[in-house]
Structure 1
Amino acid sequence: MTTPVRWGILGAAKFAREHMGPAIHAASGAELAALATGSQEKAAAFQAFAPGLKVHADYDALLADPGIDAVYVPLPNHMHVEWTLKAIAAGKAVLCEKPIALKAEEIDAIIEARDKAGVLAAEAFMIVHHPQWQLVRDWIANGRIGELVHVRGAFSFDNSAETGNIRNRAETGGGALRDIGVYVLGSVRFATGQEPDEIGAKIRWDKGIDSFAAIEATFPGFTYSSYVSMRMGLYQEMSFHGTTGTIRVTAPFNAGVFGEARVELHAPGLVVESKRFPSANHYVLQVQNFGRSLREGVPYGCSLEFTRGTQVALDRIYDGAVSL
């Protein structure tokens, strides 16, 4: 029997408490073993579903724990590079929340550290582990919609009232593009295997962060348009329009939260083929796939090199954006 991967979490973030902590606890081949936080109250919320959880008073103590195999980093964006590099230096495998870095060149440093240490390191880009996105990729590759002509995407929510939220603070690496733009861009790169030739955006700035961005791009053989916003009603959708049909993904990024994961293939004659995924949990699948890569050497489904490609696109957008 393969030894379970013993996980530690750096920080008692809300997202870790509500999603990734329970996912690690539920995943086969994984054990949520430790948490680093100075708050016993926050630790208690994790111990409620993982009673045997060991609590370290600080991040360095968790990294020094010889019983921890892998570290999950859900810290604010501007802290990701520092603590990912520290985890690698401690010899731990590391899964860091997106965006793993704020610039592509910072990912180069992580790749170099990963290769030097010989450990597994990746960004927690969970959607690529969901079977709905693997189906979208297969349908496009197999010509189910003919030749791809245009991709359209949207992802929005409203957190304008949460003035202290790290997403609304420039100093913590906030902004819509870094928080959710990675999904509308990364998903099309994953589904098509293509990189943008040209890309740009019109951005609405709010106290130093991009609260809205309308993105336009050209990829080899198809065009692309999307928008992301932290000041609009809750919505998400992706569609891939080809010469003979369209693929529509109804809950592309928060499957099971925004709604049931469903992929529709709209074919000629108004024929619709629909595939539902009512029970798939991409967070659990992400942990399990990470564990298989760590224990069995199976290639991981979201490499740092792939992550770097999305960050390159974001860097290009920020460098050339037009302000609204």
Structure 2
Amino acid sequence: MHKVRWGVLSTAKIARNHVIPAIQTSHYGEINAIASRHPAQAKQTAQELGIARGHESYEQLLADPNIDAIYNPLPNHLHVPWTLKALAAGKHVLVEKPVGLDQAQAQQLLNASRQYPKLKVMEAFMYRFHPQWQKVKDLLGSIGPVRNIQCEFSYNNREADNIRNQAAMGGGALMDIGCYGISLARFLFAAEPKRVLGHQQFMGFEVDTITNALMEFEQGSASFSCSTKTEGGQWVLVSGENGSVRLAIPFNPVADTPTQVVVRQNGSEHIIDIAPANHYRNMADQFCQAIINDSDVPTPLSDALANMQALDAIVASAQDGVWKSL
């Protein structure tokens, strides 16, 4: 089969800076078109990034017969509506995280996707496709059993009109970056949390600016803190009965640069160097291979639904001030 022909739904920053360049250098995909609600912006972005066509509307992109797959990096409240429209137009879809606004939307998308068994849909949690996490997975047997996972992810965004500060658009720290902490714990424990406890602060904004959460699993516990109003940073510590691993840039390391995994056992540390990799390109290539081979996508929508279930429970816990069982 030819390379998968991609169209990009909007000129979002993550598309321009990360996903489009990754697909343009991928083995199995190529960017053929981009769309914007502002025709001039679509044309300009297409010209700047070397994309053949800049469509004047999202509808025009979905009607393009030369597009096989859509990348959807729209604001969170538009993830499900436009993914549904893309499926109806016969396109495969890679949709940015979080997959929707809540569990109900994730379930709606999962149900709808079953009407299109030949079309692939996947949530774009790119961090899972970086080899540093494949190495951590390999190390779990030697440091485990894992009993505790801790992580922090933060940045500072005080622009009141930014979409990440708009409740109606699905903004807030938990939706934007806290979802990584949930996803990571589920990924490493290979299980779902039994119950969660959440705490949120708003600090004058209509969305949460700081969220802390504790998740109880059968095997152990996981906690995370996320913030959109503090100095930017991130780290993860995975602690087991026989050792621990720490990652300094767990979620968005700079593409095509080396990373490190710090392993601590018996009171001493050693560093494992991870070769340069582009997790966006790896994600796109594996999604393309699923299309080409008509095989399962690496992370099914059932995984996205489970992540949203935990996220909703954390919000409910923060509102009620009690543990919430899943």
**TM-score under structure 1 length normalisation:** 0.93
Alignment of 1:52-201 (within 5 A): 53-118=52-117, 119-140=119-140, 143-160=141-158, 162-201=159-198
Deviation by residue 1:87-130 (Cα, 9 ceiling, x = unmatched): 01111000111111111121122112211112101111111111
- Give the corresponding residue for 2:221: 223
CA distance in 1, matches of 2:105, 2:274: 38
Task: Compute the displacement of 1:322 (Å).
Answer: 4.9
CA distance in 1, matches of 2:78, 2:188: 29
**Moved runs in structure 1, 4+ residues, more than 6 A?**
none
**Kept in 2: contact 1:21–1:46 (CA 8 A):** no
Aligned partner letter, 2:199: K
CA distance in 1, matches of 2:144, 2:116: 44
Alignment of 1:153-302 (within 5 A): 153-160=151-158, 162-205=159-202, 206-256=204-254, 260-277=258-275, 279-302=276-299
Aligned partner letter, 1:213: T
SS in structure 2 at match of 1:209: coil
Structure 2: where are the runs of 5+ without partners?
A: 322-326
- Give the corresponding residue for 2:324: none
Task: Compute the displacement of 1:54 (Å).
Answer: 0.7
CA distance in 2, matches of 1:32, 1:201: 40
**Kept in 2: contact 1:25–1:50 (CA 8 A):** no
CA distance in 1, matches of 2:10, 2:269: 49
User: Are 1:320 and 2:317 counterparts?
Assistant: yes
**Kept in 2: contact 1:27–1:287 (CA 8 A):** yes
**Kept in 2: contact 1:137–1:190 (CA 8 A):** no
CA distance in 1, matches of 2:20, 2:93: 15
SS in structure 2 at match of 1:99: coil
**Kept in 1: contact 2:122–2:299 (CA 8 A):** yes
Task: Compute the displacement of 1:303 (Å).
Answer: 1.1
Aligned partner letter, 1:44: Q
**Kept in 2: contact 1:169–1:209 (CA 8 A):** yes
Deviation by residue 1:201-226 (Cα, 9 ceiling, x = unmatched): 11001422010011112111211221
CA distance in 1, matches of 2:319, 2:120: 38
Structure 1: where are the runs of 5+ without partners?
A: none
Deviation by residue 1:178-223 (Cα, 9 ceiling, x = unmatched): 0001111101211220211111211001422010011112111211
Alignment of 1:37-52 (within 5 A): 37=36, 38-51=38-51
CA distance in 1, matches of 2:68, 2:241: 48
CA distance in 2, matches of 1:95, 1:107: 14
Distance 1:211 1:323, change over 3 A: farther
Aligned partner letter, 2:11: A
- Give the corresponding residue for 1:35: 34
- Give the corresponding residue for 1:19: 18
SS in structure 1 at match of 2:151: strand
SS in structure 1 at match of 2:186: helix
**Kept in 1: contact 2:96–2:125 (CA 8 A):** yes
SS in structure 2 at match of 1:306: helix
Distance 1:271 1:320, change over 3 A: closer
Aligned partner letter, 1:128: R
SS in structure 1 at match of 2:209: strand
Deviation by residue 1:257-279 (Cα, 9 ceiling, x = unmatched): 7x8532121111414242323x2
Deviation by residue 1:16-35 (Cα, 9 ceiling, x = unmatched): 11111111211111110011
CA distance in 2, matches of 1:90, 1:214: 40
CA distance in 2, matches of 1:114, 1:249: 35
